[in-house]
Structure 1
Amino acid sequence: MQHLEVPYNNTGYFSKIVMDYLEEKKELAPFYHRYPKLQNFEAQIQEKAASFSSEHRKVLVSALEKQYQEFSLSGATQEHINHLVLPNAFTITTGHQLNLFSGPLYFLYKIISVINLCKELKQTYPKQHFVPMYWMASEDHDFEEIQYFNTKGTQIKWETNSGGPVGRLSTDGLEEVYNKFAEVLNNGKNAEELRDLFQKAYVEHQNLADASRYLVNVLFGEHGVVVIDGDDPKLKSLFKPYALKELVAQTTYQQVTKTNQQLTKQGYPNQVNVREINLFYIADGLRERVVKEGNGYRVNNTDLHFSCAEHLFSNVDKLEFLSGNALLRPLYQEVILPNLCYVGGGGELAYWMQLKATFASFNVPFPMLLLRNSALLVTEKQLKKIEKLEVTVQDLFANQHTLIKKIVNQRSTINFNFEEKKQILEANFKELESIAGQTDASFIGAVKAQKAKQIKGLETLEKRLLKAEKKRMYEYVTRLEILQNQLFPNHSLQERQVNFSQFYEVYGKEMIATLLTTLKPLEKNFSIVVL
């Protein structure tokens, strides 16, 4: 197995806020707590231990035991759940939507990141217990984002009527999806494993949350991953005081609005828009915003009205109706978990950075934020093609037009990069503008028009020469384009497009074992893993 690395800033796929965070630029310091370095976890451990009560631990363990009561647990997962009642046990958490059959590859990378970080922390702090936690986004309602996955060039899609929290969605109709997926796979041992996994997860379970829990247990149970469903009345009971404050004082709106202004001033766009109230009212088939109406509250697009915040709670027997949006869900998570660090993608870290002041207002410790591992999986066959084409894997991260232009220019006997010639033209016309200004200023417009015409002519000639050279190198260029399209489908990162099954079918469990061995959560590089 070969493992190569590319600095994130050389990939061209990550935002300014992520790059500045990785470089620990001082402009971002006010928006996060402690940077995720091993030595910084000691203070985070002490802070969380002091704020997280034994009562919260008991409720958390009780809820997890109930959520797992219909599932077979690995010894490692059971041990981790047992540990959580102890004052020296802490979680490292990642979260993700309930994408069908896990969705894109980076779902795996998130969970592998928390597993490996827990291992590193255990070596550094042996007296503590560290639990890798996967938070199911079971209360989301964006079904269109989760109803499909792509494997072997085929989109496997679940067509069904949806509404309300996705975790409560019935799995009716997924047998038809299973049949389509089964036809795409070959007849090997690994393919049979995939068929069996999909069948048992999605056909034999009643709702999407249970199906997703089963899937993660099979893939990562031996590593002790604990799956938590926040759509739980016991856990929401712990959040009631914070929800009341949100309703009455609109704390998130006030704090995030100030933070957004500060981020904008530093040149960072806001990842998530804040609302006056950031709570949803949910039920089977229903997920609607809670909005202020006079002195009371109303559930948007329904007939539900409440005279006060307490009335909203007293009108239901249980608290399953309560749900935070993207900006309040992180607070809920940190209230109910003894969490030290959240591991997420660039977009997630960006919206967490909108929340530090909100956490302070609620007097809840802000977790450390870690960018999840990113990887490009390359087969031995593809690596040989890369070498034969005399390019590097790093070259292939470039925009395709830029890549082809660069490589064709390098291999051509004609230099058709006219950048130097454009600079000479610019200099010449700058001198002409100066002369025109001294003689007759009315000529400056004519000079500028002539400059634009000649530069455009050079660019046209450059494009024609490139087109001619590409035609002459047609076979080479075609092979390069095909290879890049395989590794960067839809001109995007592989991890955002392709499902794990495409590789699991070939490599089986060894694929996950390789990723667990290779990916290092605290290293600031994009990984290239040769399978």
Structure 2
Amino acid sequence: MPTDCISYSETNYFTALILDYLSEKKELSDLYIRFPKLDQFEAQINEKQDTYDHHIRKDLVEVLQHQYAGLETSAITRDHIESLKRNNTFTVTTGHQLNLFTGPLYFLYKIVSTINLAERLKQKFPDKDFVPVYWMATEDHDFEEINFFNLNGKKFKWNNADKRAGKTAVGSLSTEGLQEVYKLFSAEIGSGNNADFLKELFKKAYLDHDNLTDATRYIANELFSDYGLVILSAGDKRLKKHFIPYVKNELLEQVSYKKTSSTVEKLNSLGYSVQVNPREINLFYLTDELRERIIFRDGKFFIHDTSISWSKDDLLNELKNHPERFSPNVMMRPLYQEVILPNLCYIGGGGELAYWLELKDYFEAEEVSFPMLLLRNSALLQSKKQNSKRERLDISLPELFLKQHELINRKVRKISNINIDFSNQKEHLVKQFQQMYDLAEKTDESFLGAVKAQEVKQLKGLDKLEKRLLKAQKRKLKDEVERIAALQNDLFPNRSLQERQTNFSEFYAEYGKDLIVKLKEELDPLDSNFKILTFGKK
């Protein structure tokens, strides 16, 4: 599989915050401890070794063994779970929502990045073990974010009849209603060995499992167990009990709000868009029927939009007896993860890293080791045929990422046999008017406004002529314009990055296991470039 790459800045799809983080801009250096380079991991290992509560390992392994009971998995995954009992085993972690049939393509990139980094660390530190972990976001409750996937330009949506959808944790939702999606998916994906595998994968995941957590675990295990991926749902009471002190601090002291607010202000002052603004209490109360915010008001604690309330003592008693009912939101979930896991590095997308960068002071206040933050690999998958089309159209890789109107205008100007750039004429016009300004100043300054108005009018006239000429050339070069647009539409569905739109099944149907094998070969988690992967037959 030939591989090309461009810088993330050349894609025009990544925020200034992430680009500046990747370039290790000095103004951001106090938002993290260590930048994810291989030579920095020894210090991270030592710090986690000294600060992690190794007593948690026993409960972590018991929970994982319980969750994997009855699930066929690889020997390497079983060994990885067992190795977590030992104090010299560490994790590399990514997290993801329980999107229907994995959702967008970048689900694969996240996990491949995590697996590859764990393997690199094992090579660097052979006396230690490193486990790639997929932390399932089972407690999220935004059902509309996860109930669909896109295949061949079509949207496959799950209309869940469960009345709890959107109100409580998605992981507990019944898989009822997915029979209809399965039928539509089966018809769309067609036939053949790879298509049959995908249909069976969907069927066994969603029609043979009762809830979304078990279904998602099944899919991720089927795709990645050969590489030792460990999949964790962290809502178990045995794990939540270890988070009780931090939940208590949040309820009584609002630690996360106090410690992240100044970082949010700093990011704003530097001109960055803030990903998440903290609430005073960053916890939800979770039951089978609801997941709602906990609010403190007038000396009592309330559950938003319900009649449930507690005194301080009653709430602390509820926390002691039922820690599993206290669900961290996006600001506290990272802390919970790092308390539970002997983790060294979190791998996420740009949006995720943006809110992690708000949290270092919070981690320090709670005396929890802050992990390294690594941007997951990103890639554009193209066939050899598509790459050949791009080359024949004389489109460079950076040009491919331009907005479509910019790309077409640029190519039309380049291939036209006439000049459609009036820059020289505009420059000449400005010089002429400068002479008129000089003349007006020497005669009657009241004419300066009239001269300016005439200059603006004539420059606008040249703009209009340029646009009309460009439009005429587009009509003349209609075939080239259509081919350019068609190629870009194929590679950037909905005018967005392919990885944020297309489901993996679209590529797996054609390439099967080779898709994941090649991704694993080509994606280097420590290489900060956007990959363009070309594969398949012409």
Q: Could you tell me which residue of structure 2 aligns to residue 303 of structure 1?
A: 307
Determine if the alignment matches structure 1 residue 335 to structure 2 residue 345: no
Residues 1:433 and 1:202: Cα distance change in structure 2 (over 3 Å): farther
What is the alpha-carbon distance in structure 1 between the residues aligned to residue 382 and residue 308 of structure 2? 54
- DSSP 3-state at the match of 2:55: helix
Q: Could you tell me which residue of structure 2 aligns to residue 456 of structure 1?
A: 460
What is the alpha-carbon distance in structure 2 between the residues aligned to residue 437 and residue 167 of structure 1? 75
| Cα displacement string for residues 457-513 of structure 1 (whole angstroms, at most 9, x for unaligned residues) | 111111111111111111111011001000011111000000000000000000110
Letter in 1 for 2:50: A
Q: Is the 8 A contact 2:263 2:358 kept in 1?
A: yes
Q: Is the 8 A contact 1:2 1:530 kept in 2?
A: yes
Q: Could you tell me which residue of structure 2 aligns to residue 501 of structure 1?
A: 505
Determine if the alignment matches structure 1 residue 6 to structure 2 residue 10: no
Q: Choose 49-58 or 31-40, whichever is displaced more.
A: 49-58
Displacement after TM superposition at 1:316 (Å):
7.6
- DSSP 3-state at the match of 2:448: helix
Identity over aligned pairs, percent: 50
Residues 1:126 and 1:428: Cα distance change in structure 2 (over 3 Å): farther
Q: Could you tell me which residue of structure 2 aligns to residue 29 of structure 1?
A: 29
Q: Is the 8 A contact 2:111 2:134 kept in 1?
A: yes
Q: Could you tell me which residue of structure 2 aligns to residue 414 of structure 1?
A: 418
Displacement after TM superposition at 1:431 (Å):
5.2
Q: Could you tell me which residue of structure 1 aligns to residue 142 of structure 2?
A: 142
Q: Is the 8 A contact 1:18 1:350 kept in 2?
A: yes
Displacement after TM superposition at 1:256 (Å):
1.1
Q: Could you tell me which residue of structure 2 aligns to residue 47 of structure 1?
A: 47
What is the alpha-carbon distance in structure 1 between the residues aligned to residue 67 and residue 418 of structure 2? 67
Q: Choose 44-53 or 383-392, whichever is displaced more.
A: 383-392
Structure 1 residue runs of 4+, over 6 Å off? Answer: none
Determine if the alignment matches structure 1 residue 234 to structure 2 residue 238: yes
Residues 1:308 and 1:470: Cα distance change in structure 2 (over 3 Å): same
- Please show how residues 299-378 of structure 1 align to structure 2 within 5 Å: 299-308=303-312, 311-314=315-318, 317-378=321-382
What is the alpha-carbon distance in structure 2 between the residues aligned to residue 250 and residue 479 of structure 1? 57
Q: Could you tell me which residue of structure 2 aligns to residue 481 of structure 1?
A: 485
Letter in 2 for 1:85: K
Q: Is the 8 A contact 1:244 1:310 kept in 2?
A: no
Structure 1 length-normalised TM: 0.97
Structure 2 length-normalised TM: 0.96
What is the alpha-carbon distance in structure 1 between the residues aligned to residue 414 and residue 518 of structure 2? 35
What is the alpha-carbon distance in structure 2 between the residues aligned to residue 145 and residue 503 of structure 1? 22
Q: Could you tell me which residue of structure 1 aligns to residue 133 of structure 2?
A: 133
- Please show how residues 62-81 of structure 1 align to structure 2 within 5 Å: 62-81=62-81
Q: Could you tell me which residue of structure 2 aligns to residue 253 of structure 1?
A: 257
What is the alpha-carbon distance in structure 1 between the residues aligned to residue 133 and residue 322 of structure 2? 25
RMSD, matched Cα: 1.5
What is the alpha-carbon distance in structure 2 between the residues aligned to residue 34 and residue 168 of structure 1? 37
The equivalent position to 1:392 in structure 2, one of 392, 396, 405, is 396
Q: Could you tell me which residue of structure 2 aligns to residue 158 of structure 1?
A: 158
Q: Is the 8 A contact 1:113 1:373 kept in 2?
A: yes
Displacement after TM superposition at 1:230 (Å):
1.8
**Runs of at least 5 residues in structure 1 that lack an aligned partner in the other structure:** none
Q: Is the 8 A contact 2:380 2:491 kept in 1?
A: yes
- Please show how residues 168-187 of structure 1 align to structure 2 within 5 Å: 168-187=172-191
Q: Is the 8 A contact 2:131 2:229 kept in 1?
A: yes
What is the alpha-carbon distance in structure 2 between the residues aligned to residue 184 and residue 356 of structure 1? 46
Letter in 2 for 1:262: K
Residues 1:284 and 1:21: Cα distance change in structure 2 (over 3 Å): same
Letter in 2 for 1:186: G
Q: Could you tell me which residue of structure 2 aligns to residue 447 of structure 1?
A: 451
Q: Choose 311-320 or 175-184, whichever is displaced more.
A: 311-320
Residues 1:249 and 1:74: Cα distance change in structure 2 (over 3 Å): same
| Cα displacement string for residues 57-94 of structure 1 (whole angstroms, at most 9, x for unaligned residues) | 11211111122123122111111111111111111000
Residues 1:344 and 1:57: Cα distance change in structure 2 (over 3 Å): same
Q: Could you tell me which residue of structure 1 aligns to residue 534 of structure 2?
A: 530
Residues 1:166 and 1:472: Cα distance change in structure 2 (over 3 Å): same
- Please show how residues 464-475 of structure 1 align to structure 2 within 5 Å: 464-475=468-479
Q: Is the 8 A contact 1:374 1:527 kept in 2?
A: yes
Q: Is the 8 A contact 1:296 1:309 kept in 2?
A: no
Residues 1:424 and 1:370: Cα distance change in structure 2 (over 3 Å): farther
Determine if the alignment matches structure 1 residue 281 to structure 2 residue 285: yes
- Please show how residues 187-226 of structure 1 align to structure 2 within 5 Å: 187-226=191-230
What is the alpha-carbon distance in structure 2 between the residues aligned to residue 27 and residue 96 of structure 1? 29
User: Paired residues, what number?
Assistant: 531
Letter in 1 for 2:382: V
Displacement after TM superposition at 1:426 (Å):
3.8
Displacement after TM superposition at 1:33 (Å):
1.2
What is the alpha-carbon distance in structure 2 between the residues aligned to residue 176 and residue 191 of structure 1? 18
Displacement after TM superposition at 1:446 (Å):
2.2
Letter in 2 for 1:104: P
Q: Could you tell me which residue of structure 2 aligns to residue 117 of structure 1?
A: 117
Q: Could you tell me which residue of structure 1 aligns to residue 94 of structure 2?
A: 94
Q: Is the 8 A contact 1:470 1:477 kept in 2?
A: yes
**Runs of at least 5 residues in structure 2 that lack an aligned partner in the other structure:** none
- DSSP 3-state at the match of 2:327: strand
